[in-house]
Structure 1
C-alpha cells in the first residue's frame, strides 16, 4: 500500500557545516571542508520546493540468503521532489530504493533496522524540503549528506539503539532522495540526467570533491552520455538457492524457474554471482564446484563457451588466509572454472579501518578484489586501495551523486568496476541500470529482483521490455535515454 506524506510548510534555510563528502583523492588529499553549495541562482541551478515520500511492501517468492542472513520481504522507499530552476521552470522528479536493512544495518534485528530506516526517511523528507541551497544536484548532495548523517546519529540516540545507525544504512535511505533530485533536474531541462554532468550545468569541477588532480574535469569525462545497448546480467545464486533438483525442498508453481539450470535455460545466462557464507571451506568449495559443474553442463547443451563467475562472501571470510586457501583449492580442482571467475567481492569485514590485518595484496594477484560494504565514500576507497583492494562495486543505493564521484575516482586510479544490486525492483533497478550502462569498463550488473520479488516490477515491465525480463543473458539498457534518470512511474506517484 502506498501513501504519500507531504511537508505542509517550508522550514528555515538548512545550513551545513563541514564536508559533505570528506574525500581523499587517490594519493592527493582533498579539501578538508566545503562551504554550502551556492547562494545566487543562475538558470542552470535548481532549488527544492516540495518533497513527498511513501513506502510499499512486497513479499519474496522465496527467501534470499546472503552473508548468513535470510531475507523474505522488502520495503521500498519512493520519493518525489519538485524543483524550480533559476529561470522559474518547475519539474517533478522520482527516486526509489529498497530499504535493505539486513545488508546495511546487520548489527540489529531486521525489524529494528527497518523501523529505523523508515523513521530516517520521515526525517530526511523534512531535511530535504528545508534545503534552500541552489545549484546542481551534486551541490545539493554536498550540503544534504552531512545533514542526513547528523539526523541518523540523533535518531539512533533518541531510539536508544544499542548500535549507532551506520553510514551505509544512512546512504541507502538518502539515495532515494538524491535520485529524485537528479531526476527532477534532468526533467526540468528536458534532458537525460547524464547530459547534465558537464561544465554547462555543473558549477564546480571535480577538484572540489576529489582533489587537485581533477582540476578542470567534470563527471561527463567519466560517464557516457549514451547508454550501452546491452549490459551483461550477473544472476545471483543465493546461498540457499537450489542448484539441482535434489536441493529443492518445495517446488514453487508460479511459472518461474526453481533451479539454476532452469534459470539458465529461461534467461540464457552467462554471468553468475555465487553467494558464499564463508567460515566453512568445505561447504564453500563444494558450492563453487557444483555450480561450475551445472553451468558447464548447461553451456554445453547450448554450445556456449563464454561464461563468467564472481564470488561474493558478504564479509564471510574469517580472514584473508581463508580466501587464499579456498581460491587455490578451486584453481587446483577446476582450472578452467577458476579462469572464469572475474572477481571476488568483499571477502572480509566491511570495517576496513578496524580490520587492517586483512590486506588483499596477495589475493589481488590472483583475481580483482572488489570493495562493497566497506565503500561509503571516496575516503574509504583510498583506504581500500591501500589495503590491496583493486575494484569497486558501484551501487545506486549509495546515492547517484556518490556513485558517480566514486566511479570517477576509481577510473582515474585504474580500478576494476562493477555495478551491484540491493534486490532493486521497479524504478530502483532503472536507476541502477542507468549507472551500469554509462560507466565505461563496467563488468556488468547484478539484477536479482526478477528472481526474488518480480511482482514489485510487474507494472514497470511493459514500459521497459528487456530490462526486467532477461533474454540472452543481457539487459537491454539502450532504452534508458531519459528524461531525468528515465523512470516515469506507471502508477499514481507524480502529482501536480
Structure 2
C-alpha cells in the first residue's frame, strides 16, 4: 500500500485517540499537549537538523502551538485547472444546484480573499496564462492573495523560475500577490533530491505531498524548501510533530485539506488555528459537496460556510476536539463490524 494511502487510512483512528485523551481528561485536546499530561517530551520523537542550535529535550508540543488561537481564519478557495473562469469557458453542462460556477461569482458570494491556483507543471505557456487570467479576475474582485500549485509535475527549477520572473516583469502586482509556491516537484523527495534554493529565493516554497513526516520536512529544508503544508488526513500525531520540527527550525506552515467534510473538518480547523499558518486555512468541501456536512453545519455553521472570506471557529468548544456530537443530528448506517461482538 502506498505510504500516503496508509496514513489516510490510519488517520481517523489516530484523530479519535487524540479526541479520546481530551475527553478522558476533561480537557480540550490541544490543552493536553504539555508536560502536565504527556509522559515523554519531543526529544523522544524528533531530531534537530545537523548543525542547528535546536534542542527538543525537555520541550513539549504546547510550546509550539498557539494557546490563544484566533476564532476566525481566512479561507482559501481552490481554482481547479478545469474550472470555468468566465462565460467564454462554459460548456452548458454545468450543474444547476444553486452554487456558483464562475470564479467571480464564487469570490462575490463567499467574499473570498485567497485563491489557490492549480497549474499543470508541464506546459509553461498554459500555466502562465492561467496565472494571469485568474490573477486579473482576482484583482477585479478584491482578492488579496494567491498561491500557485504546480501539482508535483515539474522536474527542473528553471521552469518555475522563468514563470515567476516573467510575472514580476509583466505583471508585478500579480507577482506580489503570490504568497507562496506549492510543491512543483515530484513528491518522492528521497529519490528526487532537487536543489530548489533558486525557487525559494523568489517566493516561499512549501512542501505538500512530500510532507508526510518531520524527517521529510528536514530533508526538504536541506534542499531549499522553506515551509510545509500540514494535513490531519496524514494523522494528527504526524501533523503535530511536523509542526513542532518545522517551527523550531524557522520554517513556515500552511494547513491544507483533502476536501474534509462532516466531522473531519473540525480537527482540520483546530490544526490551522493552533499552528499559526502563513495565512488562514485551505478549505474546499463547501465547493465540492456542501450538502454532505448539512447536519454538522446546523451546530457549527461557521466552519462549513465561508463568509466575508473567513471561517468562524466560535462554536468549537468543550472537551476533546469540541465536536458536540450529542447536538449533531446525523443518522449513521449500521456498522459492518464491531470489536468484541460475535454473530
Q: 2:275 aligns with which of 435, 439, 445?
A: 439
For the pair 1:412 / 2:248, whether they are aligned, the reply is: yes
- Larger helix share, 1 or 2: 2
Query: How far apart are the structure 2 equivalents of 1:226 and 1:175?
Result: 26
**SS state of the match for residue 467, structure 1?**
helix
Separation in structure 2 between the aligned mates of residue 483 and residue 397 of structure 1, nearest angstrom: 21
Q: CA 1:355/1:227 → structure 2, altered by over 3 Å: closer, same or farther?
A: same
Q: Which of 21, 24, 34 is 1:185 aligned to?
A: 21
2:234 equivalent to 1:234: no
| Cα distance in structure 1, aligned partners of 2:17 and 2:277 | 26
Give the Cα–Cα distance (whole angstroms) in 1 for the partners of residues 158 and 318 of structure 2: 46
CA distance in 1, matches of 2:28, 2:214: 25
1:169 & 1:378 partners in 2: Cα distance? 18
Once the two structures are superposed, the pairs formed by residues 252-401 of structure 1 within 5 Å of their partners are 252-299=95-142, 307-356=144-193, 358-401=194-237
User: After superposition, what is the alpha-carbon deviation per residue over 1:165-189, rounded to whole angstroms, capped at 9, x for unaligned?
Assistant: 2211111111111001111111112
The alpha carbon displacement at 1:316 in A equals 2.0
Shift of 1:416: 1.3
Larger radius of gyration: 1
**Closer, same or farther: CA 441–237 of 1 in aligned 2, 3 Å:** closer
Aligned mates of 2:96, 2:226 — CA distance in 1: 42
Greater RCO, CA 8 A, separation 6+: 2
**Contact conserved, 2:318 with 2:324, CA < 8 A, in 1?**
no
Q: Secondary structure at 1:366's aligned position in 2? A: coil
- The Cα of 1:255 is off from its aligned counterpart by 0.9
Give 1:492 shift.
4.3
In the alignment, structure 1 residue 424 sits paired with structure 2 residue 260 = yes
Cα displacement (A) at 1:488:
3.7
Q: Which runs of 5+ in 1 are unaligned?
A: 1-164, 300-305
Given the alignment, which residue of 299, 303, 307 partners 1:467?
303
1:202 aligned onto 2:38? yes
From the superposition, tell whether residues 365 and 426 of structure 1 become closer, same or farther in structure 2 (CA, over 3 Å).
same
In structure 2, distance between residues paired with 1:492 and 1:452: 22
Any conservation in 2 of the 1:372–1:392 contact (CA below 8 Å)? yes
Where do 5+ consecutive residues of structure 2 fail to align?
Answer: 49-54, 336-343
Deviates more, 1:467-476 or 1:316-325: 316-325
* 1:368-412: CA deviation from partner (whole Å, max 9, x where unpaired): 100111111111111111110000001111111110111011101
Contact between 1:344 and 1:368, CA under 8 Å: does it hold in 2?
A: yes
TM-score, normalised relative to structure 1: 0.63
Cα 1:407–1:478 change in 2 (3 A) is farther
In structure 1, C-alpha distance between the alignment counterparts of 2:126 and 2:318, rounded to whole Å: 45
1:24 corresponds in structure 2 to: none
Aligned twin of 2:238: 402
Contact kept, 8 Å, 2:70 with 2:273, in 1: the verdict is yes
Instruction: Report what 1:244 is aligned to.
Output: 86
- Given candidates 211, 217, 224, the residue that maps to 2:66 is 224
Give 1:486 deviation, angstroms. 2.1
Q: Does the 8 Å CA contact 1:243/1:259 hold for their aligned counterparts?
A: yes
Give, in angstroms, the shift of residue 441 of structure 1: 4.2
TM-score, normalising length from structure 2?
Answer: 0.91
RMSD of equivalent CA atoms: 1.7
- Structure 2 residue matching 1:342: 3-state secondary structure: strand
Q: Distance in 2 between matches of 1:361 and 1:478?
A: 40
User: How far does residue 296 in structure 1 lie from its aligned partner after superposition?
Assistant: 1.2
Change (3 A) 1:282 1:211: closer
Contact 1:276 1:316 (8 Å CA) reproduced: no
Within a 5 Å distance, the mapping from 1:32-43 to structure 2 comes to none
